[in-house]
Structure 1
Amino acid sequence: MSSKIRGLIAAPHTPFTSDGNLNLDMVDKQAAHFERTGVVGVFVGGTTGESLSLSHTERIQLIERWGAIGRNHNLRVIAHVGGNAVPEARELAKKSEDANVDGIAAMAPCFFRSASVANLVEFTRLIAEPAGSTPFYFYHIPSMTHVELPMVPYMETASKQIPTFAGLKFTHSDLCEELECASFEGGKYDVLHGFDETLVGGMAVGVRAAVGSTYNYAAPLYNTLMKAVENGDAETARSLQQKSAAMVRVIQRHGFMAGSKAIMSFFGVDCGPVRRPLESLLPAGIDALRADLETLGFFDWVAV
């Protein structure tokens, strides 16, 4: 794995059967779809993947399947191994390295929470340690963990104490902080932008890679957006970002997690229902979502 990532990394949905069991047979279809639509990698078992709603065994099985399949489709595989129980997270890290993934990531603990940068670095160091040959990314997502510590001091300390530290997945709206992270030590570390609907902003502060849920099905739109930014075409980039924002708002009206997962079935990749406490869409709701997306022009935007 090179030190810097460029392009779109999809946060794949965890596929379930209709009765809610893990459906690992669908992973190959997901991977083929990503390769076809211009995605360069996957961030497995994160928020979109319903990570903490999976059992420990399911998380291992999911990581192992993606580790086996990802390279067949030219995808980098970053496995999210974080959780509240350090022993389980350490085992997931080791299993991920054994599965030959390209990177691992962990978010902050969300029950008993880290109250200082030093504590958070030590928490993540313990998780990264068993995977001593695999790049480690901190998954910064305060909206879910409610741990909102400054990331530049985290990077300063983590880069000294975690030998495999490779960067951040930055899922936060503070573009000033994202700029500082992207510029840290001359841009040595990856900063992966985490909000799809503000990708233009992330690129404006120097980010060149992103992880997101809508890259599952709208990668062509975002790849065109990234090229527009790189070519200095601000008007096109802004127009495409407006389309992205409109798409996200439509999906949110139907329930973002369930709606996002349902959209995959429109492309022949049935990832099944969401897991409780999330609410899956009923057939009528899926039809209404499709109709709203058609009205928006979504299917033209994402055509390959």
Structure 2
Amino acid sequence: MSQRGDVKMSSKRLSGLVAATFTPLTNDDEINLPVIGPYIDYLVKVQGIRNIFVNGTTGEGMSLSVEERKLVAEEWINKGKGKLDHVIIHVGSLSIKESRQMAEHAAKCNASGIAVISPFFFKPQSTDALVEYLKEVASAAPGIPFYYYHLPELTGVSFRVVELLDGIEKKIPTFRGLKFTSSDLLDFGQCVNNYKDKFDLLYGKDELLLSAMVLGATGAVGSTYNYFGNLNKKMLSYFEKQDYNLAREQQAIVQEFIGYVSSLGFGVAENKATMMLVSGIPLGPPRLPLLKCSEEKKAQILAKLKILGLLN
């Protein structure tokens, strides 16, 4: 264990690939908890992924009730014991009381850490206001690492993160790093340049991962690592060996797939369908207001996966 301020936390850094997990649902729109155990085995044994980010955007966390999110968090943590290295639970909510409640619950369940997205209806009007909000949520789980989840495309909260990080550990002793999901590589690059030795700086745009690694990202959180884990690990291996041409080839495959499916409309529903096509895991449809992926889109996604050689 290591000491930071008055708080003891694990010294183990969060790095490498982190899968932003999907939440399995039944056709009756209920949480399908029994799927999570086999899902973990697939991530570990097939894709080589041992770190996960639960109840985030990919997991439709904001569409689940607080009680559902607790059940999902507990299942991932309990079933992941001895198999997963890090289970980060996203506890963001429009209600700060709900966020604190879920943060406390995650800590009691022995989560590896918690993450929080900015409120996006009543938005913080300044960086200081956002930090105060994050501080309040983090204080409910004072013994585990805390991460800020930066997603300006959905939240509309686009303060420069490099400014938010300035002195944040003095206000939030458990602050460990961030999930940076934005194509603003200028801001991310400055975060890395100033704070790489202090914080875990995880990038969240799968199609730009190689660019982020060049800038010095310590890892990445993304949905495609659920089913393209091996492909991205191969890319990172080439990058570490400084074989940049082969690394670019692997990134190009990911970009080709994401570029194609984005032209079809690549939301959570289509992403979830892709995971089912590749893994065979029954994840079910997304929750309304998201509509399930059409059979026509599924056929197009399947065809592209076959063309790119991405099906076992």
> Shared fold (TM-score greater than 0.5)?
yes
Equivalent residues in 2 for 1:60-139, closer than 5 Å: 60-139=70-149
More helix by share: 1
Name 2:302's counterpart in structure 1: 290
Equivalent residues in 2 for 1:134-153, closer than 5 Å: 134-153=144-163
Q: Does 1:258 align with 2:269?
A: yes
Gaps of 5+ in 1: none
Question: CA 1:185–1:8 in structure 2 vs 1: closer, same or farther (change >3 Å)?
Answer: closer
Q: Does 1:230 align with 2:240?
A: yes
Q: Does 1:281 align with 2:281?
A: no
SS at match of 1:72: coil
Instruction: Give the TM-score normalised by structure 1.
Output: 0.95
Name 1:249's counterpart in structure 2: 259
Give the letter aligned to residue 270 of structure 2.
G
How far does residue 284 in structure 1 lie from its aligned partner after superposition?
Answer: 4.3
Task: Report Cα offsets for 1:186-236 as digits up to 9, x if no partner.
Answer: 521000110000001110011131000000100011000001111111101
Name the CA distance, whole Å, in 1 between partners of 2:128 and 2:37.
Answer: 40
Identity %, equivalent residues: 36
Instruction: Give the TM-score normalised by structure 2.
Output: 0.92
Give the letter aligned to residue 148 of structure 1.
S
Give the letter aligned to residue 296 of structure 1.
L
Does the CA contact (< 8 Å) of 1:118 and 1:157 recur in 2?
no
Does the CA contact (< 8 Å) of 1:169 and 1:191 recur in 2?
yes
Does the CA contact (< 8 Å) of 1:3 and 1:166 recur in 2?
no
Does the CA contact (< 8 Å) of 2:149 and 2:179 recur in 1?
yes
Moved more, 119-128 or 285-294: 285-294
Q: Does 1:272 align with 2:284?
A: yes
Does the CA contact (< 8 Å) of 2:51 and 2:87 recur in 1?
yes
Name the CA distance, whole Å, in 1 between partners of 2:101 and 2:161.
Answer: 26
Question: CA 1:219–1:185 in structure 2 vs 1: closer, same or farther (change >3 Å)?
Answer: closer
Name 1:15's counterpart in structure 2: 24
Gaps of 5+ in 2: 1-9
Pick from 188, 194, 212: which aligns with 1:184? 194
Pick from 156, 159, 163: which aligns with 2:169? 159
Question: CA 1:99–1:246 in structure 2 vs 1: closer, same or farther (change >3 Å)?
Answer: same
How far does residue 117 in structure 1 lie from its aligned partner after superposition?
Answer: 0.8
Name 1:53's counterpart in structure 2: 63
The alignment yields a C-alpha RMSD, in angstroms, of 1.4
Q: Which runs of 4+ in 1 moved over 4 A?
A: none
Task: Report Cα offsets for 1:147-192 as digits up to 9, x if no partner.
Answer: 0011122111421100100011011112222122123345210001
Name the CA distance, whole Å, in 2 between partners of 1:111 and 1:244.
Answer: 33
Moved more, 277-286 or 203-212: 277-286
